[in-house]
Every structure is written in C-alpha cells, then in structure tokens.
Amino acid sequence: MDSFVYIISEYNPFHNGHAYQIAEIRKRRPDAAVVCIMSGNFTQRGDVAIVNRFVRAKIVLAGGADLVLSLPFPWCCASAEYFADAGVSIADRLGPGELCFGSESGDIDELTEVASRLSELEADGFFTTARSRAAAYEKKYGQGSSHLLRGSNNILAIEYLRAIRRRGAALEPVTIKRIGAEYNNREVSLDNFASATAIRHLLYKKHYSLAEKQMPSGCAQILYSEINECGCASLENASLSLLGILRTMKSDDIKSIAEMGGGVGERIISSAMAAGSLEETLTLAATKQYTNSRLRRAIIYAATGVSPSTLKSEVAYTQILAANAKGLDALRVMKKEGRIEILTKPADHIKMSEVASRQYKLEADADKIYTLAYKKPMPANAFLRISPYIDA
C-alpha cells in the first residue's frame, strides 16, 4: 500500500464536489488508501448532521473512500481552529501521509504563506477572534492576500496548515481548488457543483429529485433510504429540550461552559427565558460580535457540559465508521504502528484508556441530544448498538 491520503470532512451530505476530490486523489495516488476523518453527529457550525455518522460513512464509502473514521465530539462541533487541529492530530497519529483539502484558492504556496503570517501575528498577540484576525492581517500585510481569510474553505485550509506546522505533523498538505458554489450559497445549478448548504435546503424542503442530481447515484440511494425511514435530523426538533436546559442554568453554570464567555452565556440564557423556540432564542441573542454558529455551539456545549479545558485537550481516540478491503488493510497498519486509540464497537470503549473512555462518554451524551433531533425521537442509546459498516 502506497501510504495514506487523509481528508478531514463533514460530508453533510456527501455530494458531487466531494466525489470529485476523491477522484482527483485517485488520479495522483491510485494505490494509496483514501482515509476520511469525518465529523460525528454534530457539525462545525453548531448544528446536527442531516443523517447520523454511520449512514454518512456508508455513503462516503460508496463515494470512493476506503476508510471512514470519526472526528469525535466536541471537536467536530467547534470553531475552525479546534476542528482543524483535532483532525490533523488524529491523522498525524494514525500514520504519515498526505492531507488533502479543498480551497477556494487552490494554491498551496499562498495558503502556506498566509498560515505562517497568521501564526506570527498570533504569537505577537495581535488578534483574539476571527474578525480581529482579518483586520490585524490587513493592517500588517495589506490587502494583497487578505481575501484568503474570507472563503470558508480557505479558512479551514489555513487552519490545517497552521496545525501541521504547530504539531510538526508528518503530513504533506495538498489542496484541490474548489469547483462550484460557495459553502453558504443556496443556489442549485445542473452545470455546477452545489454546496452542501444548498443540498440540505433541498432535502429539508423535500425537493429530492433536485438534490439527487447533486450526488453520485449510489450515494443518493443510501441517503434516501435513511430519510424515508427516519426523516432528516434538525436541531429545531430538539428545540424545547434545549430551551429547558438553558432556562434552568445558573450564572455559575455558564462559567464552566466553552464558548459561553464574554457575555455570550448571559445573553443566551436571557434570550431563552423570553423565547418560545430555539430559532427565536438565536434571533434574540444574535449580534454582530456573536455569530449564529458560535451561539449554536455554545448551546450544544451547555446541553452536554463541554468545558473550555475539554475543548483544548488532545483528542484521545477515533472510531471506525466504515471500511472496504483496502481500508481494513490500512486499519491493520494503523493499529500496529499508529499512536492513537481506535474504537471498533461502541461497547468496547470500556477497554480504552481512562481519558479516551471519558471522551467517548461525552460523545455518547451528545448522541442522546442528537436522537431528539428527529420528528420521531430515537431511543437515547441508539448509537451504542451500531457496528461499523464493512464492505469487504
């Protein structure tokens, strides 16, 4: 086997643009194992995945990957810096290889330069938030390359590069220019790759025939089979449960929750007291300073008890979600030579180290919230009984 090519991803849902990335990897590295480190049941923007991680992993395997491993909670539901760092940490400890990611730029050299400059600015204490980061960058380096800090894929790419440099990771970064709509663009064209945001919008509106054209056919069939049985998960379905948690929180509770600092917690709690839904809570709490994504992440952290120290800690494990024959071969190498614990079956978490087992229990608590995100809630321990999908 000619090493590994890693992709850190959400696949919410997997679409033609993602299939294009894997196909491009296959052209360059036909013998390598394509290993996807994929978000769990929650996503970076503080939302639930439209279908659960095991179904999405099966879809990704149908889309061309060899092995799908988890990027566990809470790091899958974190800002770009924490999300990227956790993904790079997992990949680096699985074994040397390439890290392939999409970007609006498509130029690894200019992304690397910006990443290096940002690390210098951070070391000098020039910024504390993403918003102030862009301003500090333009002030010191001008506007020549500051546009790279605005594209959502560029931002993640830069964070991957910073994490590789910070960790001295044995990963060779490779970027593929993103083709198609921007991440937040809801427009759909048959002549272009639609964004995951646009496809989710179609799925929630039940425009299945339009959505299907934006996904590889085999992948769409798996997705629709799940949607026909369970529907699409939506955080709004868990609205009253989350409101109940927020309304019973005390000021001392807020201090121990990640993303609740700087007045965010007080604003969320006061909004929850007046609101009749999660959507209304977010509307009341929103300001220019507090993005919708940060507010949603803070609410999910409050519901699961995620502390700042937990978010800053090293991810101790990853979970096998799906694999084919080549993926199983890769897995054998990783288990023998890697430096991270790999969980096969949920029940086996008791055999892991104390730190890894504690982290898995936190993800299991998050899964209990996720089971409420369907119109017909699932049993609380639904994901404790699911084994990886193996196509060997």
Please write the tens of the pLDDT for every residue from 232-241.
999 999 999 9
* DSSP element (H, E) containing 301: helix 292-304
Q: Is the pLDDT of residue 183 over 90?
A: no
Confidence of residue 127 (pLDDT cuts 50, 70, 90): low
Structure tokens at 295: 């507010």
Which residues on adjacent β-strands are paired with residue 171? 97
Please write the tens of the pLDDT for every residue from 33-84.
999 999 999 999 999 999 999 999 999 999 999 999 999 999 999 999 999 9
Please write the tens of the pLDDT for every residue from 285-327.
999 888 899 999 999 999 999 999 999 999 999 999 999 999 9
Mean pLDDT check: name the lowest of 1-10, 26-35, 179-188. Answer: 179-188
**Residue 182 confidence (pLDDT):** 57
* DSSP element (H, E) containing 177: strand 171-177
Please write the tens of the pLDDT for every residue from 350-387.
999 999 999 999 999 999 999 999 999 999 999 999 99
DSSP 217: H
4-104+151-230 in CATH: which number? Answer: 3.40.50.620
Confidence of residue 284 (pLDDT cuts 50, 70, 90): very high
**Residue 151 confidence (pLDDT):** 86
Q: Give the mean model confidence (pLDDT) for residues 95-103.
A: 98
Phi-psi category of 318—alpha, beta or left, where left has phi over 0 and alpha has psi -120 to 50? beta
Please write the tens of the pLDDT for every residue from 235-262.
999 999 999 999 999 988 999 999 999 8
pTM of the model: 0.95
Q: CA angle 33-174-128, nearest 5°?
A: 120
Confidence of residue 125 (pLDDT cuts 50, 70, 90): low
Environment class of 2 (CB within 10 Å of its CB; exposed 0-12, middle 13-18, buried 19+): exposed
Q: Give the mean model confidence (pLDDT) for residues 263-272.
A: 96
Answer yes or no: are the C-beta atoms of 48 and 233 closer than 8 Å: yes
Q: Look at the alpha carbons of 338, 163, 106, 37 in this order and tell me if their dihedral is positive or negative.
A: positive
* DSSP element (H, E) containing 319: strand 317-324
Q: 138: closest CA among 149, 126, 146, 129?
A: 146
**Residue 187 confidence (pLDDT):** 60
Q: Is the pLDDT of residue 184 over 90?
A: no
Query: For the chain, which residues make up each domain, given as ranges?
Result: 4-104+151-230, 235-310
Please write the tens of the pLDDT for every residue from 133-142.
777 787 777 7
Q: Is the pLDDT of residue 330 over 80?
A: yes
- Mean pLDDT for the chain? 93
